[in-house]
Structure 1
Amino acid sequence: MILEQPRGVATDNVRRRLIGSQALLISRLGDIMYLRSLADKQRREVEFHGEVFGHTDLISSVDGPDAPHAFVVDQPSGTVIPTHFHAINQFQVFLTGDGTIGRKPIAPVTVHYTNAFTGYGPIVAGQHGLRYLTLRPRHHAESKAQVLPGAREAQHAAPRRHRLGTVAADKPRDHSAVDEQILVPREDDGLFASYLSVTPGHILKLPPCGGSGRFLLLFDGSFSFHDVVSHPVTCVYLAPDERPELEAGGKGAQLLVLDYPSKVADARL
């Protein structure tokens, strides 16, 4: 999957705006790339179904009406998020802690994908709690959680799909510059997820996204992206035809590649 890119210069037609301490990269060609880091972001408490959770927005509606949506959830030990669905396709990435989703155990780092209107859960936080990201290709009010079975009438007759994959922490590393683990094998409509471990200083260029958009999630090490150096936890949202160069930092980089399916399923269908 990985294509090696010779060392080069970042695209000339890119200008950078600073929003707080973060960078929003805007291509003159018309595509918008969103890059956000958890550092310096404000955490707040939210209540859902009688439980209190930590919530930190990385990308939200303040970034524009068509912006993607990315946020971190800190779920305390022993709390439960009941079975529910959303009216939009989404990835979740479980970074730390322990627990279960449905009957499946959660261990770092686990990737979970669901189609719009696909029910999943409950999510139960274990002894060490859970920290995870929710990543959606756009932000709109109708993507809020709909708890089942009470919201069954709002659950459209859309194709159901969920996928789960966990990074094998004990897998021996090969001797290549990029070690890849496929977490969700590529499907006909472009859905795909993989884990990449990149050696220090290596420059790579990802192949085109086969679906409607892509998140990159850096959770260890660092990389430079259009001259912006990113550290954990950083997410980047890319349009399907955007193929940025990524240069791993001095300690390498560990990241996830998360491709949405080509059908942009959401509440507006």
Structure 2
Amino acid sequence: MRFDEGNFRGEADFLFETSPGEPPGPQALIARQAAGWSLPVHFHLQHQFQVVLRGSGTLGSHILQPGSVHYTSPQSGYGPTRAGEEGLDYFTLRVLTEKGAWYLPEARTAMTLGIFKEQKWASLNPAAPARGWQTLLELREDGLAAWACTSQAGESVACPEKDSGGGRFYVVIRGKFSEGTTDLPEESCLYWAPPEAAPHLVTMASNSLLVVVQFPRQARLNEVPAELQVAPSPRGKKVN
């Protein structure tokens, strides 16, 4: 789906989400932001991770590159997100589906006074070993964390850290993996949450890169009234 409007210019590929009227479940999409375009400051009502797939840009004062991760808690305003000359593609991941965005300052009156807000940023460490796991966000007591793994064809990949109960996304930035009979090529992702058995992936291509983001345990409990699950801001004009 391609959009060309005042707040967002580019495309959005919806990988999976729950439909209106259904109990909210996991949501994953890839935003493909047009070169040079700036997405204004806004917030969401759900916990969210964004993981950069390709391209370059900035989020506020933070430089974005493939493998960069950004976590934001509910109602924490972030941005602007500016795409570089080659554009900026990034995953947007939530354990509970939410539609649209609450743009600031217009939606400031919708914010809950006194609510705790936070954001976390991390990027791949260029000095890290060429193979194996690296920590992007240290595992916190509430379960929030993020890791990356570079692996070679035939290697088995299983996240070594304890889960939070809040849900995880396994995001393929480069290369290809498989999980059972499911192929996970570049630009795909897998959602997992207990009590299901944690996934064990097999690397199918050399120099593959996987990013795993783990939500705090309270993320799956963050109920939002049905009337607020779709932000009142325009989603943009569909042009193809």
**TM-score in same-fold range (> 0.5):** yes
Q: Larger radius of gyration, structure 1 or 2?
A: 1
Q: Would you say the 8 A contact 2:152–2:208 is kept in 1? A: yes
Q: Pick from 194, 219, 231: which aligns with 2:185?
A: 231
Residue 123 of structure 1 aligns to which amino acid in structure 2? T
Q: Is the 8 A contact 1:45 1:55 kept in 2?
A: yes
**1:188 to partner: Cα distance:** 1.3
- Letter matched to residue 177 of structure 2: F
Aligned residue among 100, 105, 108 for 1:149: 105
Runs of at least 5 residues in structure 2 that lack an aligned partner in the other structure:
229-240
Shift of 1:163: 0.6
3-state SS of 2:204 partner: strand
Report the secondary structure of 2:141's partner residue: coil
Aligned equivalents of 2:59 and 2:138: distance in 1?
20
Answer yes or no: is 1:187 the counterpart of 2:140.
Answer: yes
Q: What is the total number of aligned residue pairs between the two structures?
A: 220
Counterpart among 85, 89, 114 of residue 131 in structure 1: 89
CA contact (8 A) 2:2 2:11 kept: yes
Tell me the CA shift for residue 232 of structure 1.
0.8
Q: Is the 8 Å Cα contact of residues 116 and 266 (structure 1) preserved in structure 2?
A: no
Distance in 1, Cα, partners of 2:201 & 2:173 = 14
Partner residue of 1:253? 208
Report if aligned partners of 1:87, 1:266 keep a CA contact under 8 Å in 2.
no
Q: Secondary structure at the match of 1:109?
A: coil
- Relative distance call for 1:50 and 1:239 in structure 2 (3 A) is closer
Say yes or no: does 1:159 pair with 2:113: no
With normalisation by structure 1, the TM-score equals: 0.75
Q: Is the 8 A contact 1:208 1:240 kept in 2?
A: no
Residue 61, structure 1, aligned to residue 18, structure 2: yes
Please give the per-residue CA displacement for 1:210-267, whole angstroms capped at 9, x wherever unaligned. 2410100012122220222221111000013431221112425310111000112353
Q: 1:195 to 1:50 in 2, by over 3 A?
A: closer
Q: Name the aligned partner's letter for residue 168 of structure 2.
A: R
CA distance in 2, matches of 1:218, 1:52: 24
Counterpart among 98, 115, 121 of residue 56 in structure 2: 98
Distance 1:104 1:131 in 2: 16
Q: Which whole-Å CA distance do the structure 1 matches of 2:8 and 2:207 have between them?
A: 38
In the alignment, structure 1 residue 107 sits paired with structure 2 residue 60? no
The question of whether the paired residues in 1 share the 8 Å contact of 2:128 and 2:134 is answered with no
The CA distance in 2 between the partners of 1:101 and 1:213, in whole Å, is: 24
Question: Alpha-carbon deviation of 1:172?
Answer: 5.0
Q: Retained in 2: the 8 A contact 1:59–1:67?
A: no
CA distance in 2, matches of 1:134, 1:196: 19
Instruction: Specify which structure has the higher proportion of strand.
Output: 1
Query: CA RMSD of the aligned region, Å?
Result: 2.2
Q: Aligned match of 2:79 in 115, 118, 121?
A: 121
Q: Classify the secondary structure of the residue corresponding to 1:233.
A: coil
Q: TM-score, normalised by structure 2?
A: 0.83
Distance apart, 1:182 and its partner CA = 1.0
C-alpha spacing 1:203/1:173, structure 2 compared with 1 (3 Å):
same
After TM superposition, give the deviation of residue 87 of structure 1 in Å. 0.4
Give 2:47's match in structure 1, choosing from 69, 78, 89: 89
How many Å separate the matches in 2 of 1:251 and 1:78?
32
Unaligned segments of structure 1, at least 5 residues: 1-43
Query: Who is 1:215 aligned against?
Result: 169
State the percentage of identical aligned residues: 30
Structure 2 residue aligned with 1:3? none
Of 169, 194, 200, the residue aligned with 2:153 is 200
| Residue identity opposite 1:183 in structure 2 | L
